[in-house]
Amino acid sequence: MGKGRMEAFSDGVLAIIITIMVLELRVPHGTELAALRPLVPVLLSYVYLGIYWNNHHHMLHAARHVSGSVLWANLHLLFWLSLVPFVTAWMGENHFASVPTALYGCVLLMAAIAYTILQRQILRAEGPGSVLATAIGNDMKGKLSPLVYITAIGAALVNPAIAEGMYVVVALVWLIPDRRIERALTARS
Amino acid sequence: MGKGRMEAFSDGVLAIIITIMVLELRVPHGTELAALRPLVPVLLSYVYLGIYWNNHHHMLHAARHVSGSVLWANLHLLFWLSLVPFVTAWMGENHFASVPTALYGCVLLMAAIAYTILQRQILRAEGPGSVLATAIGNDMKGKLSPLVYITAIGAALVNPAIAEGMYVVVALVWLIPDRRIERALTARS
Amino acid sequence: MGKGRMEAFSDGVLAIIITIMVLELRVPHGTELAALRPLVPVLLSYVYLGIYWNNHHHMLHAARHVSGSVLWANLHLLFWLSLVPFVTAWMGENHFASVPTALYGCVLLMAAIAYTILQRQILRAEGPGSVLATAIGNDMKGKLSPLVYITAIGAALVNPAIAEGMYVVVALVWLIPDRRIERALTARS
Amino acid sequence: MGKGRMEAFSDGVLAIIITIMVLELRVPHGTELAALRPLVPVLLSYVYLGIYWNNHHHMLHAARHVSGSVLWANLHLLFWLSLVPFVTAWMGENHFASVPTALYGCVLLMAAIAYTILQRQILRAEGPGSVLATAIGNDMKGKLSPLVYITAIGAALVNPAIAEGMYVVVALVWLIPDRRIERALTARS
């Protein structure tokens, strides 16, 4: 089965999510620098969605088969990602209050779990000796991120600034380009 | 004639419908679990739209020809599907009142009829001995669903909870992956 | 130069226009049939946009070359088409008042002119003996439609119902599938 | 790595930006010609976004390789472009006041810088003797535009009409079709 339409549909959904989030940016009240603080969560979420698009792109590029369960795992991931603009706006408008900051972490956690499920479904279709299986390896980043999110959700209820810092750190860790898949593909060809 | 652009256009419309529906989700008032009830119809509709996208994907994957009447049958289906977010929000905001719950069923019914029309147009272009004709077979699910919707529309006017249950059952029946087309394609090649 | 991206971009814009127009449909007040009258212009515009998408699809399918000026002629057409939901809502919410009904005709007129310009740019790149030139022929429908729109704009200021009728007639004339391009392509191959 | 998905994603984002900007156009109050003045910035931004789409299309058409850093440079460009509708509306609704007119220039400046970064990332992947490197040449327009924007931002604070004029001039200079890439591609083949 072709993976082209699944990529096109995912691109459409991600393009809408990322664009609507920026389009709905409100004008900051006041002229001092502190007025720009509500823009920070939008930037953070933009980077997160960019990372997801990038990794999604790489993973599907290396995949050769797409089954019915992969299509559903993908829809499940897109569902959680389309909640990102909502929790981002809620967190930004409430100046990083405890509950919105924790909820932001919950959506990141659910998206990370959904991504792992999608990855497993694709790997199962590819088989153990596939390029993708080699490329992903033990997947340390993928296993640690949910643990950091859970810690951050707990920390948000005590001190939201700590949770914020953790979200930024995870984003930075993922920003470092993940050349595993590119390398594995080059090694094969 | 190429089917690529019809797939791309359908993906675009479905991506917008499904994403806008989730993006417009309102924050539930209150913190008890009952406050989350308005989210249920959105989840249900998300699953319905996912099923339509999935089946649309499979049907067009197996199709080889696309005629002018197929393009119009497809636009007709997309019209009814783009009414889904509206009736979903109306049903959710009125806590499953009779009339909105019945109207929700009407849109599902019209979409099901539109899908059947699209399927017939494609089958007519493919011919009786085609892979798609074999794969679809007697199409029990496709024939029974409209009957369930009609019953549910009537039931909604008496007791909306019964209609709700019927919508959920139909979604679950369709969620069971429809491997007919995949099997027929594999058998051919 | 490839025409794939121009098709993809046009599909994206048309998918957004057509979906947003339906998504923004308001609930009719009252339960009698007359309450459904504001839905009529949306249906009419849906058909018009469907016709444009269909013809755009056929014309580009037959085209082999896409130049820089074709890209701009296409953007010009998309600009007028993206004004359709706005004038549709204005006409529907004002119950077919004179000025909104005339303005609706103006946008249809400008879109028709933009389509003709696009067609000429493509024909110029294709050359006089091309499949597309043969298929389009003397283009009676394309030449008469603007004249009907101009008459309708004038009529709208006297009696909007006459203009409405004219818009419906033009839509019906275009709905009759235009098999010229399909026939010319079949004749060639 | 394939460039298809990056093109598709960019097309999606640009289609949303350009369509939403036109869809949100407000009805001008009053019937005299001056009432149409708030429409001017939307037309200007439409042309700017059209130019970006056009040049993006040409540049990627000539590119053969797409790396991870190109994907991020592209997301960076799309971020600034998705701020265009916001600053356009702000400038139009405030009748070309100083600060919004200067901010409009800032977004144009940032988008121009982002485009230059994207171009450099692509050129680095292509190598010095590539078709694209020959086509772009010394890139006078690309180097002068940011300087004009900076001048316009300063001028906006003194007299917004001068800045407006400068934005129009830059758009007109870019509107002249850039046949360098088309010519270089033809020369090669």
Within an 8 Å CB–CB cutoff, is residue D2 touching chain A?
yes
pLDDT at D23: 80
CA distance D41 to D105: 12
Q: How far is C173 from chain B (nearest CA, A)?
A: 15
pLDDT at A177: 59
CA distance B82 to B45: 11
Q: How far is D155 from chain C (nearest CA, A)?
A: 31
CB contact under 8 A, B12 and C7: no
Query: Looking at chain B, which residue has its C-alpha nearest residue C24?
Result: B86
Query: Looking at chain A, which residue has its C-alpha nearest residue D67?
Result: A182
Determine the residue among C5, C6, C21, C23 to mutate to test chain B binding: the one whose Cβ has the most chain B Cβ atoms within 10 Å.
C23
CB contact under 8 A, A75 and B53: yes
pLDDT at D178: 60
Give the pLDDT band (50/70/90) at residue D133.
confident
CA distance C164 to C173: 14
Is there a contact between D146 and D112 (Cβ–Cβ < 8 Å)?
yes
Tell me: pLDDT of C107 over 90. yes
pLDDT at D164: 92
CA distance C109 to D11: 27
CB contact under 8 A, A5 and B182: no
Q: Span A69-97, mean pLDDT?
A: 87
- Nearest Cβ partner of D13 from A19, A27, A178? A19
pLDDT at A154: 94
Q: How far is B157 from chain A (nearest CA, A)?
A: 32
Tell me: pLDDT of B32 over 70. no
Within an 8 Å CB–CB cutoff, is residue A9 touching chain B?
yes
Within an 8 Å CB–CB cutoff, is residue B188 touching chain A?
no
CA distance D138 to D136: 6
pLDDT at C97: 83
Nearest residue to C52 (alpha-carbon basis) of C118, C103, C132? C118
Within an 8 Å CB–CB cutoff, is residue D50 touching chain C?
yes
Of all helices (H) and strands (E), which one includes residue A184? helix A180-188
Q: Span C70-98, mean pLDDT?
A: 87
CB contact under 8 A, D9 and A15: yes
pLDDT at D1: 54
Give the pLDDT band (50/70/90) at residue C89.
confident
User: What's the token pair of residue C32?
Assistant: 């009698």
Q: Mean pLDDT, chain D, as a whole number?
A: 84
CB contact under 8 A, B19 and A9: no
Give the best-scoring range by mean pLDDT among B76-85, C31-40, D60-69: B76-85
- In chain D, residues with a C-beta closer than 8 Å to the C-beta of C12 are 11-12, 15-16, 19
Q: How far is D96 from chain C (nearest CA, A)?
A: 23
pLDDT at C34: 65
Nearest residue to B52 (alpha-carbon basis) of B68, B23, B74, B72? B74
How many CB atoms lie under 10 A from the CB of residue A188? 11
Within an 8 Å CB–CB cutoff, is residue B173 touching chain C?
no
CB contact under 8 A, B86 and C23: yes
Query: Global pTM?
Result: 0.83
Q: Concatenated DSSP letters for C29-58?
A: SSSSGGGGTTHHHHHHHHHHHHHHHHHHHH
- In chain A, residues with a C-beta closer than 8 Å to the C-beta of B182 are 1, 68
Give the pLDDT band (50/70/90) at residue B177.
low
Query: Looking at chain B, which residue has its C-alpha nearest residue C13?
Result: B12
Relative orientation angle of helices D68-81 and A4-23, to the nearest 10 degrees = 40
Q: How far is D19 from chain A (nearest CA, A)?
A: 12
Query: Looking at chain C, which residue has its C-alpha nearest residue D57?
Result: C5
CA distance A102 to A161: 11
Give the pLDDT band (50/70/90) at residue A167.
very high
Within an 8 Å CB–CB cutoff, is residue D154 touching chain A?
no
A 61-100 → B contacts, CB under 8 A: 68-69, 71-72, 75, 78-79, 82-83, 85-86, 90
- In chain D, residues with a C-beta closer than 8 Å to the C-beta of A57 are 5-6, 71
CB contact under 8 A, A86 and B25: yes
User: What's the token pair of residue C49?
Assistant: 């946009």
DSSP code at position D1: -
Q: How far is B86 from chain C (nearest CA, A)?
A: 7
Quote the ipTM score: 0.77
Within an 8 Å CB–CB cutoff, is residue A110 touching chain D?
no
CB contact under 8 A, D57 and C5: yes
- What type of residue is D58? H
Give per-residue pLDDT as tens, C24-83.
776 556 555 566 677 788 889 999 999 999 889 888 888 887 888 898 899 999 999 998
Tell me: pLDDT of B85 over 70. yes
Determine the residue among B14, B17, B19 to mutate to test chain A binding: the one whose Cβ has the most chain A Cβ atoms within 10 Å.
B19
Tell me: pLDDT of B188 over 70. no
Determine the residue among D7, D11, D16 to mutate to test chain A binding: the one whose Cβ has the most chain A Cβ atoms within 10 Å.
D16
pLDDT at A174: 86
pLDDT at A81: 95
pLDDT at C105: 95
Give per-residue pLDDT as tens, A130-165.
877 877 777 888 889 999 999 999 999 999 999 999
Give per-residue pLDDT as tens, D1-38.
568 888 888 988 999 999 888 887 765 565 555 666 77
pLDDT at D59: 87
Q: Which segments of chain B does DSSP mark as H helices, in order? A: 4-23, 39-62, 68-81, 84-93, 98-126, 131-136, 140-158, 160-175, 180-188
CA distances A89 to A175, B26, B143, Å, are: 22, 12, 44
DSSP code at position A189: -
Q: Span A30-55, mean pLDDT?
A: 80
Tell me: pLDDT of A22 over 90. no
Of all helices (H) and strands (E), which one includes residue D30? none
Give per-residue pLDDT as tens, B100-146.
899 999 999 999 999 999 999 998 888 777 777 877 777 888 889 99
Tell me: pLDDT of C121 over 70. yes
CB contact under 8 A, D57 and C69: no
